[in-house]
Structure 1
């Protein structure tokens, strides 16, 4: 009797699943690059536009983390709040920007459209969350997730790449299949079949959501879904990138994870200056792995140089914070302290708007 009931239940559940709607969007002339060796092996893997050795315009060498009176911490660079007086830039973009923690943002435009960038509400996917807890000794504090009503009414969800700190499969089920999902090429296979509307996009592809146009743009990074890169069969089989959203002639740029390269200049040449730039400043380390980390992640000074390349009118940093995985020199706010220190040298005329998790600004 139990076997009959279980079989019936499984058939019923299988019958309730609905195939996803997957669309591939690409410009007439693709700029996506593949690794030459992978093409020779008939196993295509994506490549960065500008691979190879990098030189960086400026690097902080010493005394990179002076205490700031604007950052109040319970212990050195830990459990902090930014308390400085904020000067609201007069941009008239009509974007509302709320930082949810790490790389996650909730964006609203004045036509009522709303968007999520890289929404990760709590931890990594299992079992990586378990492995991180054992190796790092802590769990990330949950981010400042939007309200249930906001989640239910979101119009589009954009993911930059498939790494665990930017994409958690549990959050897809939490958000549901009502919004459009805009993702890099090769990403759709990571969605369960449940009626999701998935748009796979190549670099410089675009899709219109309401009155907003969303562009997928290059980044300098990589993709994989295990702990160690370059050792897994799906490494670089899905693309990575950032996003530009345009609304009423105003542009907001979300970089995703990226190292510094010429792609920032390319983006500015393609779309013009950026009104708002959401740029990463963490995930680098001063240790034996520092060179590799910097190759695929911007230091605070790299982000400030990128903001110059993009002609950003205001920069909002992310990656640090009390709801972070402490990827910037292994503390919650060291990356922010370094940013505030290097801002005076690298790009002092650039307006910074510093958020604590859950803060919102109407630009």
Structure 2
């Protein structure tokens, strides 16, 4: 059996053990939350973040239904995009002006994959930092500046514990150089990262819960996605996954994290409103029959964006790491081909470039 790309080592081997367990069994749901946080109830019958009968997190609408046979089929089948992958020479564009992070104005800068650096209301945020190569992941796109030049950070947002979103080396570096930064993440993630980040403050939230902050002008809500979690062979779904919705009086930013298809996009809109900026995952989607439960395709990302009613569509989760069957830049090509279907503005996420617009009127 041939090994396909980094995805196999980083994610699929643990997934194999999980799938060999009976993941299709009937789930009797329980519910949990962080009782110290405010919950923005999406409905009158909202009970909290669901758990299965073993106390492990589950998706709101879709159980994970892949089988070992599905995994074997993917790993042993021919990749119809192999030649296109091998012939892909394009890389993500990089254009960085250091004055952006040295000034005092708001900005939103893509650092590659799911890592965004942004400032709103004078506070600086970093999402899902993976700032260097590790055992499993090698960058195909450069950072726009050395990590030693990272500006002062107030918050680090971690969407879930997968290794392309929650990187030990990056978090240890940030803990050493930005110990003041508060980490906002999902229920259960602190057990993974505490030994790397001590003494940083960590706050965990369930779905539709708002983090506590000294900044009354910023609301940060942890929102659902359709995904799963695992770092080792024994910790499947012991920690939660999701995205972030950041709101100020002037603007709102939705960071999707990783997600498959689902009605949760509509729930987010109905609960928190339509976001101005939607940072949407569009990569690691082929083969779709296997990946759709964890990563939406570019075309479905458009549908999800339209459901959210967003203003600016900013794609991510492509071009930096080789995680699946599609060529590096195919997700962007598909978005361009279908841009007329986008009920908003498609923004090319050039690495290092400020993607915020000063006037949203």
> TM-score, normalization: structure 1?
0.71
2:209 maps to 1:213: no
Q: Does 1:201 align with 2:201?
A: no
Which runs of no fewer than 5 residues in structure 2 stay unpaired?
1-33, 40-45, 66-80, 95-104
The match for 2:262 is: 261
1:54-108 deviations in whole A, cap 9, x for unaligned? 9xxxxxxxxxx9xxxxxxxxx954323569xxxxxxxxxx741100001100011
Unmatched 5+ residue regions in structure 1?
1-22, 55-64, 66-74, 84-93, 130-137, 227-231
CA contact (8 A) 2:207 2:223 kept: yes
Taking the aligned partners of 1:274 and 1:310, their CA distance within structure 2 comes to 7
Q: Are 1:246 and 2:247 matched, yes or no?
A: yes
| Higher strand fraction (1 or 2) | 1
Q: Which residue of 2 aligns with 1:331?
A: 327
Structure 2 counterparts to residues 1-363 of structure 1, below 5 A: 25-27=36-38, 30-35=47-52, 39=53, 43-52=54-63, 76-81=87-92, 95-109=106-120, 111-124=121-134, 126=135, 128-129=136-137, 140-144=140-144, 148=148, 150-151=150-151, 153-176=152-175, 177-190=179-192, 191-192=194-195, 194-207=198-211, 208=213, 210=215, 211-226=217-232, 232-286=233-287, 290-321=288-319, 324-327=320-323, 329-344=325-340, 346-347=341-342, 349-363=343-357
Question: In the aligned structure 2, how far is the partner of 1:275 from the partner of 1:312?
Answer: 5
| 1:10 alignment counterpart | none
Give the Cα separation in 1 of the matches to 2:248 and 2:328: 33
| Distance in 1 between residues matched to 2:35 and 2:188, nearest whole Å | 9
Please give the alpha-carbon distance, in whole angstroms, between the structure 2 residues aligned to 1:142 and 1:174. 18
**Whole-Å separation in 1 of the counterparts to 2:36 and 2:149:** 29
Give the equivalent residue in structure 1 for 2:17: none
Deviation at 1:149, TM superposition (A): 5.2
Deviates more, 1:201-210 or 1:237-246: 201-210
RMSD: 2.8
Q: Quote how far apart the aligned CAs of 1:209 are.
A: 5.1
Contact preservation (8 Å) 2:131, 2:147:
no
Aligned equivalents of 1:335 and 1:326: distance in 2?
A: 13
CA distance in 2, matches of 1:99, 1:186: 27
Bigger Cα Rg: 1
Q: Could you state the TM-score of these two structures normalised by the residue count of structure 2?
A: 0.72
What do the CA deviations read for 1:226-254 (whole angstroms, capped 9, x no partner)? 4xxxxx21000000000000112521000
1:141-170 superposed Cα distances (whole Å, 9 cap, x missing partner):
44335754544x110000000000001111
